[in-house]
Amino acid sequence: MSIDEYDVVVAGAGTAGCYAATTIANEGLDVVIVERKDEEEAGHIACGDALKGADAFPEAIPKARLEPAFTNTGVDHGRFEIPKEDTVLEIPVPGELAVIDRWEYGRRIIEAAGDAGVDFHYDTVVNDVVQTDDGRVTGLEASRRGDRATYEADLVIDGAGSLSLLQDKADFEGTTFDTNVRYSQFCSAYREIVEVPEPVEWDDALVFKPTDRAAGYLWYFPRTATEINAGLGFQMNEEPMKLVEALKRDLRNRPEFEGAEVRDKLGAALPTRRPYDSAVAPGYLAVGDAAGHVNPTTGGGIAGAAYAGKYAGEQAVKAVSDGDVSEENLWRYNTRVMDHFGGRYAGLDVYNVLSTAIDVDDLMGLLASLPGEKLAEALYEGSTSMSFGLKLKAAIKSFGYWGTIRNFYQTKSLADELLAHYESYPTSPAAMANWTHERDAIMDRIYETTGADAKY
């Protein structure tokens, strides 16, 4: 059995893990990433491949290192296909948007982390978390290429993805670490990379289409005009879907995919829940999918994972340098995540809750009746203003959906209230109990208003 000693050990070579480890290595600390895949497969992750806001990613890994993975930078809007309404709704997406080759992107961030001085141990499967009698995490037990290995560290960063095994093994009793996690808060997703014989007409758009049930959708994201990331997902609190069969059925009904060839296929679980209330415990930080740092309405999480990695890395450097890896000394990581994107994602989770209770045909009919440019403002700028003429037009077209509109309005008011509550996220673990009690009271009103089953 080998024993490896590091300042920090990171589980998982995804976006969050690589950004965290690179941030730490740049400050001169010894850090290793343990990755269960082999070197060739590392970075191969099921993903929709859409990337928004790369121009503002953390500088630990410069954008220039990522750009070779950008295969389509010409996408600028979402295209919502609503077959039952015989409607296509186009919504502009502001800011930089690209579709990427996710495997190439994964290789690029791993290469950048290695250049910064991060060690990589591939073919390493974590089996257990090592803790002291008082609960502080001090390392990991693993199997490396079939041999037992122990990693001793001042701090462990969990970037092991959705439903992380590390969290099953660790004892978080007496800490604020969020253990209110179950499979129904996640989405089961499947995607194929499909090569079509002729360029598609919508290579400048991210295409979405509802499935035949609530809280599920198909996507068609063009890596290029002839290479399409096609996939779908559904909430795990719903009845199971045969994902492969459902995707193939839709592909067969799209003439542009006639004669297409599948180049790659992969499935995954994605968190479609609010960020963890707290992602820290003594000697332990969770990042990215392992902490619910994903937009719960779409499953998109690359940008959130990058920043979570940055914040976790910076807090890890401070804690190790201080010789204090207590929950209190790691807490600023939580506050930075909540201030930057965590509170906003928690607000968006309200609409995910609503989607599990609303009739999918009512939702699609309502969307089809509204002006796309105003939906874009509401989605990306928070604006709900509308000229009298547009209000009248929308009111006439949305006749029959006014009950749904009322439900949306009430839900939006509660989402705004929840977001305001996250703006007062506690500055220390001691204040956490009172804050969560007040937050849960808001959530109870959300469940009552939407008619949805409790998600947490």
Cα separation, 294 vs 275, whole angstroms: 7
Question: Could you report the per-residue pLDDT of 111-168, keeping only the tens digit for each?
Answer: 999 999 999 999 999 999 999 999 999 999 999 998 999 999 999 999 999 999 999 9
Query: What topology is assigned to 184-271 in CATH?
Result: D-Amino Acid Oxidase; Chain A, domain 2 (3.30.9)
C-alpha distances in angstroms, 322 versus 130, 201, 319, 427?
Answer: 21, 57, 5, 19
Residue 344's Cα: distance from chain center in Å?
A: 13
Lowest mean pLDDT among 17-26, 64-73, 204-213: 204-213
List strand residue ranges (DSSP E) for 223-340, in order.
227-235, 261-271, 280-281, 284-286
CA distance 169 to 341: 28
Bridge-based pairing state of the strands 77-82 and 216-222: unpaired
Confidence (pLDDT) at 236: 85
Q: Which two tokens stand for residue 199?
A: 């360029």
Element (H, E) at 361: helix 360-369
Spatial distance between the Cα atoms of 355 and 298, rounded to a whole number of angstroms: 12
Its CATH architecture, for the domain 2-71+98-179+275-340, is 3-Layer(bba) Sandwich (3.50)
Distance CA 340, CA 333 (A): 11
| b/e map 66-76, b = 16+ CB within 10 Å | beebbbbeebe
- Stretch(es) of the chain classified as CATH 3.30.9.10: 184-271
Question: Are 281 and 137 in contact, with CB atoms under 8 Å apart?
Answer: yes
CB 280 within 8 A of CB 224: no
The pLDDT tens digits for 193-238 are 999 999 999 999 999 998 876 567 899 999 999 999 999 988 888 7
Q: For residues 362 and 321, which has the higher predicted lDDT (pLDDT)?
A: 321
* CATH 3.50.50.60 domain span(s) along the chain: 2-71+98-179+275-340
Residue 203 and residue 224: Cα distance in Å, rounded?
A: 7
Spatial distance between the Cα atoms of 4 and 183, rounded to a whole number of angstroms: 33
Over residues 71-83, the pLDDT tens digits come to 999 999 989 888 8
pTM, rounded to two decimals: 0.92
Please indicate whether residue 216 or residue 377 has the higher confidence score (pLDDT): 216
Tokens encoding 248:
């193939």
CB–CB of 34/8 below 8 Å? Answer: no
Residue 96 scores a pLDDT above 70: yes
pLDDT higher than threshold 60 for residue 391:
no
Burial 354-367 (b: 16+ CB within 10 A, else e): bbbbbebebbbbbb
